[in-house]
Chain A
């Protein structure tokens, strides 16, 4: 079974630009979560999707948005990039069945975004 796939792996963008990151979950997993990881901050929750519905959103500005498609693939978009958005963006999928988070999450390799 293929793991969680994130593309691209690395990205360099200029301040003010926008970026779209992609995540393909493990086959059969309907829950996809996104996290931002920066040194000293740990993994900060961005949002979680299940069956194309956003069920929860973290404390990030509206420049951060996401969506999930009918095949469970997810994208996140960051508009008007700032230097502080430089981070590792991790996507995780889990075989949730619709209820609460009662299983482990499986992570992709992440997208390293550098804003210059």
Chain B
């Protein structure tokens, strides 16, 4: 059965710290890996990765995919309290669905 596993489940850091969130997947006919940020209700899209080894960046956030080892990481540098959220990772396959992990709850303390 297809699955996506995220670690750690939760994380508490101080402003200015750098964090690395992990996402591993076992998905048949893997197509892409997506990252979302969920602050209250609606997850908002961060990155979509399809190629191995190519880093995607947006401000202080960056992500990379390793299709050989079947994982992705999301890095957040110089964290701010506004980064506090649940970060969700999802994989797509040829089965018309997004397969989500349980998420990493990040709390950034001032």
Residues of A within 8 A of B (CB): 3-4, 31, 33, 35, 40-45, 48, 50, 55-56, 58, 88, 90, 92, 100-110, 112
List 14 additional A-B contacts (Cβ < 8 Å) besides A101-B93, A105-B98.
A4-B42, A42-B100, A43-B88, A43-B90, A45-B98, A55-B96, A56-B97, A90-B41, A102-B31, A103-B48, A106-B45, A107-B36, A107-B42, A107-B43
Please report the C-alpha to C-alpha distance between residue A3 and residue B97 in the assembled complex, in whole angstroms.
20
Contact B100 A43 (CB under 8 A): yes
Contact B31 A100 (CB under 8 A): yes
Expressed in whole angstroms, the minimum distance between the Cβ of B32 and any Cβ of chain A is: 7
**Residues on B with beta carbons closer than 8 Å to the beta carbon of A58:** 97
Q: With contacts defined as CB atoms under 8 Å apart, how many contacts are there between chain A and chain B in the complex?
A: 69
Among B48, B97, B101, the residue within 8 A (CB) of A48 is: B97
Known contacts: A42-B100, A42-B102, A43-B88. The answer to whether A100 contacts B42 by CB under 8 A is no
**Residues on B with beta carbons closer than 8 Å to the beta carbon of A106:** 45
Expressed in whole angstroms, the minimum distance between the Cβ of A37 and any Cβ of chain B is: 9
B52 sits at the interface (CB 8 A): no
**Residues on B with beta carbons closer than 8 Å to the beta carbon of A102:** 31-32, 92
Contact B32 A109 (CB under 8 A): no
**Residues on A with beta carbons closer than 8 Å to the beta carbon of B93:** 100-101
Contact B41 A35 (CB under 8 A): no
**Residues on B with beta carbons closer than 8 Å to the beta carbon of A104:** 34, 45, 48
Please report the C-alpha to C-alpha distance between residue A44 and residue B93 in the assembled complex, in whole angstroms.
15
B70 sits at the interface (CB 8 A): no
Interface centre among B44, B90, B93, B98 (most CB of A within 10 A): B98
16 CB contacts below 8 A, A to B, read A3-B42, A4-B42, A43-B90, A43-B98, A45-B100, A50-B96, A56-B95, A56-B97, A58-B97, A90-B43, A100-B93, A102-B31, A102-B32, A103-B48, A107-B36, A110-B41
Contact A41 B45 (CB under 8 A): no
**Residues on A with beta carbons closer than 8 Å to the beta carbon of B44:** 107
Contact A92 B31 (CB under 8 A): no
